[in-house]
Structure 1
């Protein structure tokens, strides 16, 4: 991010340099004091020069923006976001959310990192600088996040922390998964010690955390957390001194539960912020982004000014970026929203870095994606998959198998159920009548010979065909669920041969295919095109029998090992509690 000199900021603040633009006639929502009052906003360059009576800042060339009868708020901040999970590039994701008032996000860009390394992260940060959306980057606590470690394109550890924590773009340590702290992982502890030495905040990830876990994380210096499954858990974290991010994503809906910390339990709202974590573009275009969360909080009983604070200053303060964003005050980036009222919070115009970038729910300039380097175009190195290569080897006519069982409401939660399944020609077979399907993970980086492993899964409901994705945190190997082994082989091979994407296959035919050519995980499609593609993919998955809220929303998270009970990675089925690969032919229900 470009930084004006201190002299330039002082000159602008004193009015020696006249404002480029003045927003006049609005009611200013002052998130620092909780007041709403008439005030104009003077903008010089990309920063706010003054608010209130700004007549002294007006010059002969100053543009006047009329906001009579409207309200002025800071741009909204998404406190924890894997923007790659939108399947949009940085440029296109910015186009999708800026129109709804999101002008800043905090992200580890961890999916770019595991595929394309530090060069990929640098490229994404440069891309953000050319967009109307700022990325405040946190260096991931390590990669891969998985326990035990899975295969990724780039591993990130203490040596990389020593380098990147010195970057001007680094604002903390991202997504510190609780288990690595509890395990006293030496590499992770060294990264956190570096952060303490560099006075960088540590961002946590502690779902379903016990009180002792919360205490240990607080003692380690974890400043905030975005993974609370109940309001009681959220309140424990607040009481332990952490700040709380309430998550409302496309697949994890926790706003109404966790906002109870404020509306029912009486916790002060100033240490509570918002995040979306993972969003489908179709949902953004239908419902909005952070502006939706503001409206949800107000509907749940939060005062409008407090809800706006949660989406702006609160988040900025917990990340220690409030000197740059989060309030309409001198020296901050001129990210200004003109809204109809604090109560209904409909964003009408958006200024980012001092420029009008969106109006009436549309961005004003067509996004232009940059040229891509080789770092973001790595070849897939998956060994060709055959139908005979899909399956779990077993003896006899049947086998007792530990089948991974999906939670039908939250895709991150997966238990295990024992099932007796047929064995044909030495291979455990799917049973669609009981919704016992194949699930495969194919290693894409060629470090483990591009091998494919198979397990069994319940919950997707496919009666035929297969669905697959190469966008699959935390390692972005190819994940596939299917009822037919031939269709699974076709789906995986198709993604590998075409540089990544998402696909639906049935009876040997490609029903839908969404290419994701940028690192095999995102695309430069316009948001509206991506939303249409998402809808087509989901419709095709439903036609196969899937009744989950989002077939691909549930599919892509199967490789995450940081949440109980089971995950499927390129190593096999992983038990969260033992943090090890389990023998699924010796099942014990989770």
Structure 2
């Protein structure tokens, strides 16, 4: 297939380029004219824009109150082709069996659902819950290719005192080639450095510009959040500049199915960011390439040769009006 006539986002130059996009076997082959090449299918996208598929960098599917396979129906329509989920809530109820259910159910949707293993089950030692997951319980789950690391480490005290089980969970994530998300709500710059020194390299708990910049200073990727309850974009987007934007991505964290249907997912974050003055090319790059880099997903986030043909066709950049979605399993959804 070749897509012609559109302006394609180059996330490395920050420009929308008028060019062709050649696709084959689920991957990008070229973005050059190639008069000598022929495609079985030509799609004319004159006047439209093509951006990489959007990624929700941190989400709890359980907050939507639907199964992983069902949430795919909604998110793909909003240009989200990958999500990185923390099955913390179900794990608190059903332990590793709950996590395995989430993994296997997600295989029914073309939405690519990656999971971070929940780090704090239970949340606190005195919680009356359905399971307790230690490092030894979580480590066997890395056999599943959908596992992408360790989810938000929220027990700062355990990190600061080098708790053996907590640090074993972090070590296992890195030993399997992944990483560990942080949860640094209310932490000081000094405490942020402790978290980063112990391996937590992302955070989604910024509520102010100062919060976001402190996390960048500590060397973290920052996921700017807009969910159902926590609505942080208006108060944090001012932290993003052309010099530091590569440290920022977007997440929803917790969002009800009603809000996902009516308002959107990461497409809504992008829409708000542009509304508050962020250049469109930066917003779409944060929603794709930056999230991919933060989670070490090296095969997506940019529309260049060798990358997955994971893309979104947009009619209007500012309103994020989506007309087509092509996801990594080769499914093309035409929305209008």
TM-score, scaled relative to structure 1: 0.54
Task: Determine the C-alpha separation between the residues in 1 that align with 2:163 and 2:31.
Answer: 49
Task: Determine the C-alpha separation between the residues in 2 that align with 1:310 and 1:223.
Answer: 17
**2:333 matched residue in structure 1:** 357
Task: Determine the C-alpha separation between the residues in 1 that align with 2:205 and 2:289.
Answer: 20
**2:79 matched residue in structure 1:** 101
Q: Tell whether 2:132 aligns with 1:152.
A: no
Equivalence map 1:16-27=2 (5 Å): 21-27=1-7
**1:334 matched residue in structure 2:** 309
Task: Determine the C-alpha separation between the residues in 2 that align with 1:148 and 1:118.
Answer: 18
Do the aligned partners of 2:69 and 2:107 also contact (CA within 8 Å) in 1?
no
Task: Determine the C-alpha separation between the residues in 1 that align with 2:120 and 2:35.
Answer: 51
**1:546 matched residue in structure 2:** none
Q: CA RMSD of the aligned region, Å? A: 1.9
Task: Determine the C-alpha separation between the residues in 1 that align with 2:32 and 2:106.
Answer: 31
Task: Determine the C-alpha separation between the residues in 2 that align with 1:284 and 1:97.
Answer: 8
2:67 to 89, 94, 97: 89
Task: Determine the C-alpha separation between the residues in 2 that align with 1:57 and 1:131.
Answer: 33
**1:318 matched residue in structure 2:** 294
Q: Tell whether 2:26 aligns with 1:46.
A: yes
**2:245 matched residue in structure 1:** 269
2:139 to 162, 166, 173: 162
Q: Tell whether 2:275 aligns with 1:295.
A: no
* Residues 137-159 of structure 1 deviation map (CA, whole Å, 9 limit, x = unaligned): 11222412x22242333322111
Task: Determine the C-alpha separation between the residues in 2 that align with 1:124 and 1:47.
Answer: 27
Name the structure where helix makes up a greater proportion of residues: 2
Task: Determine the C-alpha separation between the residues in 2 that align with 1:151 and 1:333.
Answer: 43
- Shifted more, 91-100 versus 157-166: the winner is 157-166
Equivalence map 1:134-533=2 (5 Å): 134-144=112-122, 146-179=123-156, 180-262=158-240, 268-321=244-297, 323-353=298-328, 354-360=330-336
- Shifted more, 146-155 versus 220-229: the winner is 146-155
Distance 1:229 1:102, change over 3 A: same
Pairwise CA distance, 1:249 = 0.6
Pairwise CA distance, 1:227 = 0.7
Do the aligned partners of 1:42 and 1:54 also contact (CA within 8 Å) in 2?
no
Structure (1 or 2) with the larger CA radius of gyration: 1
3-state SS, counterpart of residue 274 of structure 1: strand
3-state SS, counterpart of residue 269 of structure 2: helix
Task: Determine the C-alpha separation between the residues in 2 that align with 1:115 and 1:27.
Answer: 47
* Residues 539-569 of structure 1 deviation map (CA, whole Å, 9 limit, x = unaligned): xxxxxxxxxxxxxxxxxxxxxxxxxxxxxxx
* Runs of 5+ unmatched residues, structure 1: 1-20, 361-590
* Residues 299-339 of structure 1 deviation map (CA, whole Å, 9 limit, x = unaligned): 11111100111101011111111x22211122322221110
Pairwise CA distance, 1:183 = 4.4
Do the aligned partners of 2:76 and 2:111 also contact (CA within 8 Å) in 1?
yes
* Residues 377-407 of structure 1 deviation map (CA, whole Å, 9 limit, x = unaligned): xxxxxxxxxxxxxxxxxxxxxxxxxxxxxxx
Distance 1:57 1:167, change over 3 A: farther
Pairwise CA distance, 1:54 = 4.8
3-state SS, counterpart of residue 28 of structure 2: strand
Distance 1:206 1:44, change over 3 A: same
Pairwise CA distance, 1:166 = 4.4
Do the aligned partners of 1:42 and 1:57 also contact (CA within 8 Å) in 2?
no
Distance 1:110 1:57, change over 3 A: farther
Do the aligned partners of 1:178 and 1:204 also contact (CA within 8 Å) in 2?
no
**1:363 matched residue in structure 2:** none
Do the aligned partners of 1:38 and 1:52 also contact (CA within 8 Å) in 2?
no
Distance 1:111 1:147, change over 3 A: closer
Aligned length: 334
* Residues 343-373 of structure 1 deviation map (CA, whole Å, 9 limit, x = unaligned): 332111111123212413xxxxxxxxxxxxx
Do the aligned partners of 1:48 and 1:329 also contact (CA within 8 Å) in 2?
yes
Pairwise CA distance, 1:221 = 1.5
TM-score, scaled relative to structure 2: 0.93
Distance 1:112 1:57, change over 3 A: farther
Do the aligned partners of 1:250 and 1:283 also contact (CA within 8 Å) in 2?
yes
Distance 1:355 1:39, change over 3 A: farther
* Runs of 5+ unmatched residues, structure 2: none
